[in-house]
Structure 1
């Protein structure tokens, strides 16, 4: 009998092994790595192919303008923070944002968490030096520990297995919260408990009150509200660590196709999207919906080539391009790329990532972003699509459900001094709960304008 691994080999999944794989850790013990990978090849999948197919359909709808994608969560998850309270707070924040978007723009929202797998991070250098001591760079909890100690920074393959188990428990909680009554739309007021006193919360309470009144009216009219009790919530992460992703790839018993069962949606980062690289090759062989980050150095030719390579059959919902240009570049660079993809006839869904292109170091030494700059990139993204009569399909944002102080600005007016109050991220700064709601209200307004006539301020040269 042909083994599962032999079927994957026959499907060509291992072709990536002949390509250059960037941003991979230097594992010191090859035998330990192989033992960890062999264990992962035998564990149950974290998600199922059918769920990934459902998400692909939703992403196709977003690409047509019939839905909007909200993808949010930590820059880099950590094992220690995979607690019920923190997971609940992130889910609650995404649900609240989705309510604001759905109610304000009358648009179905596809909810995707950067959760249950976002444990690996690309780094600009393989090493880090402090006070004359050089150690391996922190590459996320799936590889090593963030503490600056020699033993902690040595890449440890056992963390691959740990990441699987923490992801499994996180997904269990996500499913419990989203199907067990917590996500019931009739609880919209309860999601805001513990937060008060600022404009974003007051505005949310107003929306919640209007939803309450609408629900009571429909109940009085005999409406059936079973559909309000649960929500679909999908998982995603950057498919950076190829040893982990390959080990969790399975052949679907229905279709005979390969799916990476570590998450429903996986993306390729800006640093690993080379057309001939291992990440693009691996992702071309799996059938999940996949994303590709496009930074300010991207060109229309790059995007078209990636779309053709990763989606040769031009299946709607298969490819999502996530633009991460920076507020100062989005209006200059993005129009040519979007127009080129449109003119090539490639079926893609467009998301904006307004976080990664707007990072800087504050005077006090914190890696941060300005809330107003983040909002400006979102506005620029919508302006570009409106000018080209294309569809702004969604928002990809780093956020937490906690009251951290990592991004400057917002109605709370977090300044450089305020960053020190509760700066908790291990890698990149995240929007806090209040800032996330503020962003949702802005995007709701932009979505309401999405169907207005196109602008003419971004002509694209032939």
Structure 2
């Protein structure tokens, strides 16, 4: 059935008028002010000459898996750090982050009886939006810290001045991260014969450890049973597909990663498999939407409680005019107190028009608050509450929640309140490491995975 267009200017649908730098004709929010534009251009030229971080066939494979998630035959797990730092590009941090995502995906595969699309928020998540362009301490005002790709967090003029050379450092560290992740997976790190290898040492006594170990044992028994029955090794369980994603915020960097590929039409962002636009930069007439409409990667848009149905439909018309399966996702982040009122009209608008999008829940960003002692945190009860409501709202609307988007880490941090160990405000000062947003630790992330399984089971039983 043909879908209606929603007052989109003709030029917005003219892909022939698009180029990797056409975003420069639009208003660009959340971009730093580089003091030396010649140095910025030279860095872009350097980046264009470097090898790509991902391939077009990996991107196309992910798009097909996301199309499956739209139809309910897969489930998307997207997670990782709020913002990567150059200092944490080391084997321990990367392997622990991978372990958490593998363990969560194991819980989901076992409980949902579905393949899981594994997407990490890493290998490029080095830039972050900020609520203000500057920060003032005492009598000194400096540019805000916008992530290691842009500047440094120390409150000095030298550290806070945007430096384009940091984009080259970010590309190198993204390549190192991807190289290590690929080597781990190709070497059998994700082998279902040995999921016990994914354990994190510090969680041996965690409240959920016993339940997880029971699940690991059941999967191991099932694999061994199948191999005994068939007389041969079960194939394709010694490795998994793993994809990268980041907020494509710093458009000069993304432009330099955008390339044409032999025997493929159009343009691909080869700096990541799965870029997304944050809520602050999702304006229809903005530079980020203009950039995103021209790339062939699957793309996602964060949407909050202020988004209107007509605005959402116009975004669909511009970013996925051909209604391509797997192309477009909306990541809703409404907050636990707003989702029941704000999400249903958006779901109804998309359902009524018959458009194909992947709905994903980000239960983190709408639930951020500050404590009396000055820490930025999130309450696990609110995170859990928004996620549970998301399943209920989608079920009532006749739509499908096809994935989750989480900020998490494999480190033993104390950044989000509550969870299995009931972290309190006093616990925040014990091990709060994030430079931007609070993240779920391992226990809290695993608890979310088990919650998803339980809630999906309840919805299916109704």
TM range (shorter): over 0.9
Listed one character per residue, the Cα deviations across residues 259-306 of structure 1 (whole Å, up to 9, x for unaligned) are: 011100000110001111110001001000000000010111111110
Please report the RMSD computed on the Cα atoms of aligned residues, expressed in angstroms: 1.3
User: For 1:440, which of 433, 449, 456 is the aligned residue?
Assistant: 449
Within 5 Å, give how 1:12-31 maps onto structure 2.
12-31=19-38
Moved more, 333-342 or 128-137: 128-137
Give the conservation status (yes or no) of the 8 Å contact 1:192–1:201. no
Question: Does 1:291 find its partner at 2:300?
Answer: yes
Which residues of structure 2 form unaligned runs of 5+? Answer: 1-14
In structure 2, what is the equivalent of residue 242 of structure 1?
251
Q: In 2, distance between residues paired with 1:223 and 1:312? A: 47
Which residues of structure 1 form unaligned runs of 5+? Answer: 1-7, 454-462
In structure 1, what is the equivalent of residue 11 of structure 2?
none
In structure 2, what is the equivalent of residue 54 of structure 1?
61
In structure 2, what is the equivalent of residue 217 of structure 1?
225
Q: In 1, distance between residues paired with 2:458 and 2:187? A: 35
TM-score (norm 2): 0.95
Deviation of 1:447 after TM superposition, in Å, equals 2.3
Q: In 2, distance between residues paired with 1:446 and 1:410? A: 17
Listed one character per residue, the Cα deviations across residues 381-422 of structure 1 (whole Å, up to 9, x for unaligned) are: 100111112110000000001110000001111100000000
Q: In 2, distance between residues paired with 1:173 and 1:303? A: 38
Question: Does 1:121 find its partner at 2:139?
Answer: no
Q: In 2, distance between residues paired with 1:60 and 1:338? A: 18
In structure 2, what is the equivalent of residue 188 of structure 1?
195
Deviation of 1:213 after TM superposition, in Å, equals 1.2
Listed one character per residue, the Cα deviations across residues 15-70 of structure 1 (whole Å, up to 9, x for unaligned) are: 21111111000001111111111100111111111111110111111111111000
User: For 1:179, which of 170, 186, 204 is the aligned residue?
Assistant: 186
User: Does the residue aligned with 1:334 lie in a helix, a strand or coil?
Assistant: helix
Deviation of 1:378 after TM superposition, in Å, equals 0.4
Q: In 1, distance between residues paired with 2:186 and 2:380? A: 33
In structure 1, what is the equivalent of residue 333 of structure 2?
324
Give the conservation status (yes or no) of the 8 Å contact 1:250–1:261. yes
Q: In 1, distance between residues paired with 2:22 and 2:170? A: 25
Q: In 2, distance between residues paired with 1:417 and 1:279? A: 40
Give the conservation status (yes or no) of the 8 Å contact 1:11–1:258. no
Give the conservation status (yes or no) of the 8 Å contact 1:186–1:215. yes
Per the alignment, do residues 10 and 333 of structure 1 end up closer, same or farther by CA in structure 2, a change over 3 Å counting? Answer: closer
User: For 2:99, which of 74, 92, 105 is the aligned residue?
Assistant: 92
In structure 1, what is the equivalent of residue 10 of structure 2?
none
Give the conservation status (yes or no) of the 8 Å contact 1:119–1:140. yes
User: For 1:350, which of 340, 359, 367 is the aligned residue?
Assistant: 359
Q: In 2, distance between residues paired with 1:31 and 1:83? A: 32
In structure 2, what is the equivalent of residue 138 of structure 1?
145
User: For 1:65, which of 53, 69, 72 is the aligned residue?
Assistant: 72
Deviation of 1:198 after TM superposition, in Å, equals 2.3
Give the conservation status (yes or no) of the 8 Å contact 2:96–2:200. no
Q: In 2, distance between residues paired with 1:41 and 1:105? A: 42
In structure 1, what is the equivalent of residue 398 of structure 2?
389
Aligned length: 446
Question: Does 1:198 find its partner at 2:193?
Answer: no
Q: In 1, distance between residues paired with 2:442 and 2:86? A: 21
Question: Does 1:278 find its partner at 2:287?
Answer: yes
User: Does the residue aligned with 1:199 lie in a helix, a strand or coil?
Assistant: coil
TM-score (norm 1): 0.95
Q: In 2, distance between residues paired with 1:344 and 1:324? A: 22
Give the conservation status (yes or no) of the 8 Å contact 1:371–1:407. yes
Q: In 2, distance between residues paired with 1:17 and 1:418? A: 45
In structure 2, what is the equivalent of residue 148 of structure 1?
155
